[in-house]
Amino acid sequence: MPRRTIAAFGLAALLAAPALAQTPDMLRPPGFPDLRPHPPRLTVTPPEEIPLSRLRVPEGFRIELWAHGMPGIRAMVRAEGGTIFAGTRAIGRVYAIRDLGDRREGRVLLQGLQQPSGLALRGGSLYVSALSRMLRYDNIEANLDTPPEPVDLSAAFALPPETHHAWKHIQFGPDGKLYVPVGAPCNFCLVEEDRHAVILRFNPDGTGREVVARGVRNTVGFDFHPRTGQLWFSNHGRDWAGNDMPPDTLHVVTRIGAHHGFPWCVGDWRDPGIPGDRRCDEFQPPVVALGPHVAPIATVWARTTSFPEAYRDRLFIAMRGSWNRPQLSGYEVVTVRFEGNRAIVEPFMTGLRDDAANAFHGRPAGLLFLPDGSLLVSDEQNGAIYRISYAGR
């Protein structure tokens, strides 16, 4: 498969509208077509309609349909007993999936929640982030048939009520803290730097709030390096600045509380839509540009010994895909590997984007390495989970 190598971060100048107010007219500046987002499918896709035959992985790997029947599925976490819990955004559900050997059984565990896309596990408890709400379901794996009433931690976490970019990826770090992002409440605007466009961390009960990273427009995927413990996160660039800019980006936290640029800068380039005298060299630069409007979400370090050694120290990123770019971008899983100071982005799972027809057939949304070393990829559009293994594993 071809690869994209980026040795240094550099972009063309951004074309931006000058105003800050997020009025309906500002969402589509003059000269831009009246493009509409691609709505997710929220009904069950029959297995014969799932585009498994389109999918491509590198030589030596095998991909199979592992589970299906879960519309809107996104982030996945695995409990000690083997149950996989999966969040959604548009459909308001949390699924529980059990591996029965010859088949996987999925069920709706929770429903009626507002965008419960963020899940985390600690000590047998399932944490569910639903916009500004934070709920904890204790002893969840033993109560799949009748989930307990949640412990409502929302008041303790005190997350902002704005809904724009408020769906979340949450995760416990190696320090035992729960990491929670709060996106920008706009496409582009000035924000209160300790309240929005941040990654926060808390004690499990919601106390001890601390800002880990500032200037993060919208991260829906991050992970901690298995050896160093450093936090790596993907980030979404703003819309309506051009079809090819700004890009979505990958970052690493090298200093707690550092500012990563939003809303002023993406890498070396200053957004002319934001006034003021802030310079781009004030901010922590991205590690690499991932591409324009590719919508990276799940971002995980490889945790496997069953893949070839060349894949064992890479980041895997699910690119959910562009929502209104005329020529589609994303709709694939990529890896990021490192050679000296170079970050090299390579395709890993492709086939869901048809460039010739400018169409897509699925949206990669969640990534999870299993104890056997195989990789699960959730497909939000088709309500399916694919399993990628190497050499028959």
DSSP letters spanning 62-95: EEEEEE---TTEEEEEE-TTS-EEEEESSS--EE
Contact 197, 263 (CB under 8 A): yes
> Token pair of 304, please?
């496997």
The CA-atom distances, in angstroms, between 348 and each of 1, 92, 166, 355 are 8, 30, 29, 17
Q: For residue 290, what pLDDT is reported? A: 96
The C-alpha angle 90, 91, 94, rounded to 5 degrees, equals 115
Question: What structural domains does the chain harbor?
Answer: 4-17+54-390 (2.120.10.30)
Residue where the block lists tokens 């309609």 = 49
Please state the pTM of the whole predicted model. Answer: 0.91
| DSSP character at residue 282 | G
**Alpha carbon distance 393, 390 (integer Å):** 6
Contact 193, 270 (CB under 8 A): no
Q: Read off the pLDDT of residues 304-338 as tens digits, 9 standing for 90 and up.
A: 999 999 999 999 999 999 988 889 999 999 999 99
Question: Mean per-residue pLDDT for 276-282?
Answer: 92
Is 70 exceeded by the pLDDT of residue 31? no
Q: For residue 7, what pLDDT is reported? A: 35
Q: Read off the pLDDT of residues 50-104 as tens digits, 9 standing for 90 and up.
A: 999 999 999 999 999 999 999 999 999 999 999 999 999 999 999 999 999 889 9
Question: What's the Rg (C-alpha) of the chain?
Answer: 20
Provide the 10 A C-beta neighbour count for residue 44.
14
DSSP string, 170-232: -EE-TTSPEEEEE--SSSS----TTTSSEEEEE-TTS-S-EEEEES-S----EEE-TTT--EE
Closest CA to 91 of 68, 66, 70: 70
Is 70 exceeded by the pLDDT of residue 29? no
Binned at pLDDT 50, 70 and 90, residue 392 comes out as: low
Residue where the block lists tokens 């499990």 = 204
Question: If DSSP states are collapsed to H, E and C, what string results for 103-125?
Answer: CEEEEEEECCCCCCCEEEEECCE
Is 70 exceeded by the pLDDT of residue 139? yes
Q: For residue 204, what pLDDT is reported? A: 98
Is 60 exceeded by the pLDDT of residue 13? no
Is 80 exceeded by the pLDDT of residue 184? yes
Residue where the block lists tokens 């390579």 = 346
Binned at pLDDT 50, 70 and 90, residue 28 comes out as: low
Is 90 exceeded by the pLDDT of residue 272? no
> Token pair of 240, please?
């309506």
Q: Read off the pLDDT of residues 378-388 as tens digits, 9 standing for 90 and up.
A: 999 999 999 99
Question: Mean per-residue pLDDT for 266-291?
Answer: 92
Is 50 exceeded by the pLDDT of residue 22? no
Question: Mean per-residue pLDDT for 219-244?
Answer: 94
Closest CA to 171 of 139, 212, 142, 140: 212
Q: Kindly give the pairing relationship between strand 375-379 and strand 384-390.
A: antiparallel
Binned at pLDDT 50, 70 and 90, residue 244 comes out as: confident
Q: For residue 324, what pLDDT is reported? A: 83
